[in-house]
Structure 1
Amino acid sequence: MQKRVMIYAYTNFNLGDDLFIKILCERYPDTQFALYAPREYKYSFRTYENISIYSSDNFFVRLLNYGIRKVGIEHSTSSIIAKNCDAVVRIGGSVFMQKSNWAGMPKYKQNIKEKPFYVLGANFGPFSDDQYYKDHYELFKKYTDICFRDTYSYKLFEDLPNVRKADDIVFQLNNQQPDLSNDHILISVIKPSFRKNLMGYDDVYYERIKDITVQFAKKGYKVTLMSFCEKEGDQEAVEAILHKVPIEIQESVNKYYYKFNIEEALDIVASSACVVATRFHAMILGWVFNKPVFPIAYSEKMNNVMNDIDFQGSYINLKEIGNLNPVEVYESMETNFVDISVQAKNAENHFKKLDGYLLGYSP
């Protein structure tokens, strides 16, 4: 009998998180998945017959959720959908960050019924409150399987028997994209101030990205400024940088805004000659497609993964970007290649336990 699985994921049209959903659906074509997400996700995954999108932005659904909150019930539409599924998969990267308004673990998260619950591809933190860690430690005891994507997160919970580690899920992505001409440099950008710890860095970051863009353009390259997630300010960042680019350089600069078309976005990365990656998954995808990657690390999750794979190339932490010489980025095209064949194989281990449940394999 076909199993139904609820997917909990970050559904804000972020390319990295949408790739998680894509990989999950493609790995288990005979499983029917349910995703509570904005209605436009029906367009993003229109070619997948094994996923049903339940619109989170439907007026009546929002009205129902409002009513539920008003009467003090902690359940929501998503939890109602999950009740009608055989299992739950929470797939995503930074899904355990402590928010500034955190005030204890909600009861509905603690109320894990007799239903398999898998956490795949996550990292833990950042967090500032020991109670946040302790509450999750107790919560994780109730889960079926937790597979983190970095050593730091794994070490926090390694004494729990259901906790494992594997390389980021996207490492296993099929890299057989069309053989496209490597005629452009891809620069993935963010709006630093979207993150509280990077308030005040927008101007220096935009200025330096502009300088990097000019450096490559003067060397004869086309440059593509890419937004991975409009809702997190990437698109706004692209426009701000474009306004800084000198007029004589502008015809060498393009922009690409991801929203619905995953395959098109992957083609953009695959056709590049080099990736300048502020986005975490721009870094991973560059390595997947065997491109030299210059990381601009905006969070510890990027540094943690670079440490895990023993990355020896040049990079910069975003808070230090004012010290970056654009020539160093250009020269990294010769030095910043990484062989991720080991990581690609290891990344499949995220699904080791879920394979056992959905496919009947012995984990």
Structure 2
Amino acid sequence: MKKVLVEAYLSNNLGDDLFVEILTERYKNVEFTFNGGENSRIIEKKVNTKKGKFDFTKISKYDAFVVIGGSLFQETGGIIKWIKIWLKLFLKVIFFRLHRKKVVFIGFNFGPYKHKIFRILYGFLFRFVNYLSVRDIESYNLFQNNNNMHVYPDIVFSSYENNYSENDQRNSLGISIMDFGNKVNFQDDYEKLIINLIDNIDSDLTINAYAFQSSDNINDYLIIKKIEKHIHKKVIVHKYDGSNLKDFLEDFRNNKYMITSRFHSLVLAMLYNQKFFSISYNIKIDNLLRAVGLDKFKLVPNDFKNEKKISWFIKNINKSLNDEHENYSEKLTKEFGEKSKKHFEYLDRILGK
């Protein structure tokens, strides 16, 4: 049995756990050891996964080193902090390559970053990686001179064949509600926006609120419970806890309409053929909306206090969304699904499919 060491974001976050699910299900005959993730529940539920710690003396037992995830390379904290993070990853890559092991980075976007040296150092590191794939053209353009760099839609789109839904959902509205953490200055305005939206949505719609992550540092569920105290309608709350992936997704997909905050709530809304509006807090969401021609159907943080824009948003939701939302179509989602599978083309060769 081939063995792979994996680094991923392992904090019981739905989007990142979907990466783990897709990777481990694709290669069922491979043993995956995940570096860290002591509290990750999805790893505990898989038969071909285990938790571990990176050990330079044990590199020889692995066939490959895989880094999988979305927003993996962001410049956060001071220069000393991110240089330490960069150096640790660089040493891992170098040691694997010195042992003639394959190194693969898949599914990420690069940034945001503030300083040119951040991009330069990661560009240098990427030169030692056998295969890299990003999920947006903007990240690709930063490193397009690297012949090992590729660009495909988000990895979750690769589950298209098993997840695309026909239009048979219940007459309900789902809302992905997000804890942005302490790195933004618009959390309070965002919560007031959600309260405003819920209180002004047509009363005949059942409203479901979804918490994609409820960890120590980021807790969507606590934000939902906080919002519940200020709304005048019943909201059914669904909390992802790392152990209920199948049930959480099944309930999410049954909504006809969706207001998305988290990036993967948008991806899932497309996979599930839902009519959606997006709250876009990050360029990765803007890029995806632009790719499907729906970048005008969104609110951004600067709109959170704009009563005119919010009124427009609510009006369109109450009109059961605009017909233009049909334009992204099953054909485009299927196309994304086929392209997304190419994230794994190199791993298919070295691990077998």
Q: Which amino acid in the other structure matches residue 22 of structure 1?
A: E
Identity %: 24
The 5-angstrom pairing of residues 270-309 of structure 1 reads: 270-309=253-292
**Structure 2 residue aligned with 1:48, among 42, 46, 52?**
46
CA deviations over 1:163-210 (Å, ceiling 9, x no partner): 000000011222067997514211001124x152x21x2232112211
Indicate yes or no: 2:338 matched with 1:352. no
Tell me if 1:191 matches 2:179.
yes
Q: Structure 2: 5+ residue runs without aligned partners?
A: none
The Cα of 1:135 is off from its aligned counterpart by 0.3
Alpha-carbon distance in 1 for matches of 2:56, 2:293: 40
Distance in 2, Cα, partners of 1:84 & 1:226 = 40
In structure 2, C-alpha distance between the alignment counterparts of 1:123 and 1:47, rounded to whole Å:
28
Q: 1:214 aligns with which of 187, 192, 199?
A: 199
Query: Which residues in structure 2 correspond to 1:86-101 (within 5 Å)?
Result: 86-101=63-78
Distance 1:38 1:179, change over 3 A: farther
Measure the CA separation in 1 of the matches of 2:79 and 2:219: 23
Quote how far apart the aligned CAs of 1:230 are: 1.3
Distance of 2:118 and 2:231 partners within structure 1: 44
Please say if residues 179 and 271 of structure 1, whose CA atoms lie closer than 8 Å, have aligned partners that are also in contact. Answer: no
* Structure 1 partner of 2:209: 225
CA deviation vs aligned residue, 1:270-312 (integer Å, no higher than 9, x gap): 1111110000000000100100111100111110122233336
Q: Distance in 2 between matches of 1:154 and 1:206?
A: 34
Distance in 2 (CA, whole Å) between partners of 1:243 and 1:321 is 20
Query: What secondary structure does 2:71 align onto?
Result: coil
Cα deviation code 1:25-45 (max 9, x no counterpart): 11111111111344443x434
Give distance in 2, aligned partners of 1:221 and 1:38: 38
1:232-243 alignment, distance < 5 Å:
232-243=218-229
Q: Helix, strand or coil: the match of 1:230?
A: coil
Match of 1:62 in 2: none
Task: Give 1:188's aligned amino acid.
Answer: S
Q: 2:133 aligns with which of 144, 147, 150?
A: 147
Instruction: Point out 4+ residue stretches in structure 1 off by more than 4 angstroms.
Output: 78-83, 176-181
- Any idea what SS the aligned residue of 1:18 has? helix
The Cα shift of 1:53 comes to: 2.6
CA distance in 2, matches of 1:277, 1:79: 41
**In the TM superposition, what is the alpha-carbon distance from 1:84 to its structure 2 partner?**
3.2
TM-score w.r.t. structure 2 length? 0.86
* Structure-1 separation of matches of 2:320 and 2:305: 18
Corresponding residue of 2:117: 131
**Paired residues of 1:178 and 1:267 also in contact (CA < 8 A):** no
For 1:226 and 1:78, how far apart are their aligned partners in 2?
38
Amino acid at match of 1:258: Y
Native 8 Å contact 2:174 2:258 kept in 1: yes
Deviations along 1:66-103, one digit per CA (max 9) or x if unpaired, are: xxxxxxxxxx6466665532101111000000112233
For the 8 Å contact 2:173–2:255, the answer to whether it is kept is yes
Task: State whether structure 2 residue 88 is matched by structure 1 residue 108.
Answer: yes
Task: Note if 1:262 corresponds to 2:261.
Answer: no
CA 1:3 to 1:228, structure 2 compared with 1: closer, same or farther past 3 Å? same
Aligned residue for 1:298, secondary structure, equals coil
The aligned amino acid for 2:51 is I
- TM-aligned CA distance change 1:17 to 1:80, over 3 Å: farther
Q: In the alignment, residue 303 of structure 1 is paired with which amino acid?
A: D
| 5+ residue gaps, structure 1 | 55-75
Distance in 2 of aligned mates of 1:80 and 1:215? 60
The answer to whether the 8 Å contact 2:11/2:39 transfers is no
Question: What corresponds to 1:73 in structure 2?
Answer: none
**Residue pair 1:298, 1:319 contacting (<8 A) in 2 also:** no
TM-score by length of 1: 0.84
Question: 1:185 touches 1:275 (CA, 8 Å); kept in 2?
Answer: yes
Work out the CA distance in 1 between the residues paired with 2:301 and 2:58: 40
CA distance in 1, matches of 2:295, 2:123: 34
CA contact (8 A) 2:175 2:209 kept: yes
Do structure 1's residue 331 and structure 2's residue 311 form an aligned pair?
no
2-side partners of 1:221 and 1:190: how far apart? 21
